[in-house]
Structure 1
Amino acid sequence: MVIYFESNVATPPAMIYMGVDKYENEELLKWGFPEDVWFHVDKMSSAHVYLRMSKDMTIDTIPPLLLEDCAQLVKANSIQGSKANNVQVVYTMFGNLKKTQGMDVGQVGFHSDKEVRTVKVERKINETLNRLNKTRQERTPDLRLEREQRDREERELQKQLLREKQREEQEERRRKKEESELRSYKSLMKDGNMTSNQRDVDYKEFEDDFM
């Protein structure tokens, strides 16, 4: 089961979700979206919270209020973290998560520590949590099917972008060819390069022949 929240501090509203337990978190680690951002309380057990970013958003341009929503949910769903102040929350792109053999259920590492960000949560903000909990929904999605559908859509988008790029390149080649032909035509039309079909005649010599 996956728990979903809607954050209306972003435009359009953002979807935040997390597994109901560590086993569901393990499934999310298999079938999450590469463009999602993963959140966890640093050095403490907590829920694995994910943010589905909009297309124009990056991990470094997440609006501060939306970042706070995610961090508050992580803190509230940590047994230790929920009771502590000044909690550090780490977050990174889903694609940076690393799962290796021998790791416990729900445990995860990183491919690159440089791609990990941190945000400090000084205290619990009940107003934020109450707002998010009003949107709470529990579902049992087919995570694998959702990921496969996402991948198909991404492949189609990449094919479309490739086709558009090829059309633009073809149009650019056509434009350059026309410009080259036009320059060649103008060069030929210059007076110095023009020739006459009329034969040059020495008129004085011609007249002398008939005198």
Structure 2
Amino acid sequence: MNKAYVLLVIICCAGVFLVTDIIPAGAWFTDTEVIEGISITTGSWGDAGSLMVTADQPLLKPPAGNHAKTVLSGITVNNTGSAPLEVTGIRVSWDPDDGEMIREAAFTRGKGGEAPRAGPKGAGSNPEPAGDEGFTVFWSGEAVSGHLLEGQAQLGPATRDDPARGILLTFGSNMEGKSLVCTIILDDGNEKEVRLQV
């Protein structure tokens, strides 16, 4: 009978430690499933549980006056929780890697429940205010495949008028025929990724 009480005390203490955040919470096992271009990671107990990343209709197109397909839209991020999420990084990697460079990562915004799409302005334009249908630059520069693009963006909880944000990626050369992985990294270190073929 004493062993049962000792076991009960240990379980209660472990529960108290987890509730009061003395011992950091985390999943013991994780797994990743890829279903038709959507990658789902399970086992995370952080803020990433409220983050949805999808690529239902990726579109690779040339900017105005160009023929090389260097602008990718159609990746969507959505906050299904009730608290804002802070995005502090985006990592984009591609295969085959022939020395291409990424030049800009921006968040677009849809209106009236429509999925966000690349706005009419090209890369390098001034970012528009967050309430407009344009885009807000998250990072710009020049980086190779797999490099962490650091920036700051807040994803508010999804609403009927603002259900999701899109990610607009601009590259320095044609990306047609590449397999891409786009990973969104939150300020608590949790991340979600989506895989797509362009």
Same fold (TM over 0.5): no
- TM-score computed with the length of structure 2 as normaliser: 0.33
TM-score by length of 1: 0.31
Q: From the two aligned structures, give the one with the greater helix fraction.
A: 1
Indicate the structure whose relative CO is greater, using CA pairs within 8 Å and at least 6 residues apart: 2
**Greater C-alpha Rg:** 1
Higher strand fraction (1 or 2):
2
